[in-house]
Amino acid sequence: MTPPARNLAHAAIAAMLLCLAAPAAAQIGGHTAEDGVFVLDDAEDLDLVANGVDRNWIPQFVWGGGLSAEPLDTLELTLAPGQSPVGTLLYRVPAEYGYINKSFGVPMPSVPGESTIPYPGNIADFQSLDFLISFTPVVNNQEFWVILETYPEVRENVFPRIMWKYEPEAGDTFQPISIPLHSPTLILDGEGYEVEELLSQTRFLSFYFYGESDSPQPVTLRAYIDDITLVPGEPPAGDAWILSGPTPTEQGPTSAGTEEEPG
C-alpha cells in the first residue's frame, strides 16, 4: 500500500472509531431512547415546568379554570400502583356555552430549555407515551385526545398534527393510559410524510378535552394527569395509521401554544 493510500485508510479507520465512540445525538430533552424510559413530567416539583424538557406547560386560557400542580395528599384520589406520590397536574375547564373544548401542552425540544425551531425533538425510537389520568364528570359526547404537532411547517403557521384518541373511565382513581406512538388515530396536514418522519421532528405535545353539557348547573371538567413518560422500544408489527380524515369534532382540537421565537 502506498503512503497516500495508507494515510487515507488510517484516516477512514480513525473516523469510524470516532463515530462509534461518540455519544448518540439527543432525541428529547437531552436524552435518547437508549437511556431508557424518559420522564417528561411527574409533577413532583409542584410547578408547571415539564422537567424532562425544561419548558413550561402552556394551557389555553380558561375563564374560571386553568392549569395547576396540586399536592396529592390534599386530594381525595386513589393512586395507581407505583405512582409518584407528591403531585399531579390538574386542568379545570368550565363548560362555556355548553361546550368543553380546551387543551394544554408543552414544547418538545431535543435540548432542555431550548426552542424547537432549531432543536426539534425526535421520539421515533420510542414505542409509547404513557401517563396516568383521573377525571370527573362524565358529559355528553366526551372525547380525550393526545395531539403531537410536528415539523415541517406545511404552510404559514400550519403544522402536521398526529392525534391519538383514548377512552378513560371517569372516577377518583388514577388509571394508566398507553398511547401507541406509531399507530395514531388520525394525522392532519401531514400528507406525503411517513409517521416516523413526523415523530422525528416534534414541536408541541398537548392533551385535548372535549364535551357537551346541557345541564342548567355549572359544569367543570377536572382532569388530573401525572407521570407522563416516553417508553422506548420497537413498534408492534402491523401498525397502521390514517393519513387524513374528518376532524373529531366541529370545533376540532388545536395545539395550546406556539413556538414564535427561534431562541
Range of the domain at 118: 28-232
- Asked, for residue 93, whether it belongs to a domain, the answer is yes
pTM of the model: 0.84
Using one digit for the tens of pLDDT, what is the confidence trace for 23-47? 357 799 999 999 999 999 999 999 9
In whole angstroms, give the CA distance from residue 145 to residue 163. 7
If one counts the domains in the chain, the total is: 1
Using one digit for the tens of pLDDT, what is the confidence trace for 145-199? 999 999 999 999 999 999 999 999 999 999 999 999 999 999 999 999 999 999 9
Could you tell me the three cell numbers for 10? 488510517
Question: Which helix or strand (DSSP H or E) is residue 19 part of?
Answer: helix 3-21
- Asked, for residue 176, whether it belongs to a domain, the answer is yes
Mean model confidence pLDDT for the chain: 85
- Asked, for residue 98, whether it belongs to a domain, the answer is yes
- Asked, for residue 13, whether it belongs to a domain, the answer is no
- Asked, for residue 241, whether it belongs to a domain, the answer is no
Residue 249: per-residue pLDDT = 43
Q: What is the CATH number of the domain that holds 79?
A: 2.60.120.260
- Asked, for residue 248, whether it belongs to a domain, the answer is no
Using one digit for the tens of pLDDT, what is the confidence trace for 54-113? 999 999 988 888 999 999 999 999 999 999 999 999 999 999 999 999 999 999 999 999
Residue 13 CB burial class (10 angstroms; 0-12, 13-18, ≥19)? exposed
Which carries the bigger pLDDT value, residue 15 or residue 67? Answer: 67
- Asked, for residue 197, whether it belongs to a domain, the answer is yes
Contact 67, 104 (CB under 8 A): yes
Could you tell me the three cell numbers for 244? 387524513
Question: Distance of CA 251 to CAs 80, 147, 172, Å?
Answer: 33, 15, 28
Residue 237: per-residue pLDDT = 58
- Asked, for residue 32, whether it belongs to a domain, the answer is yes
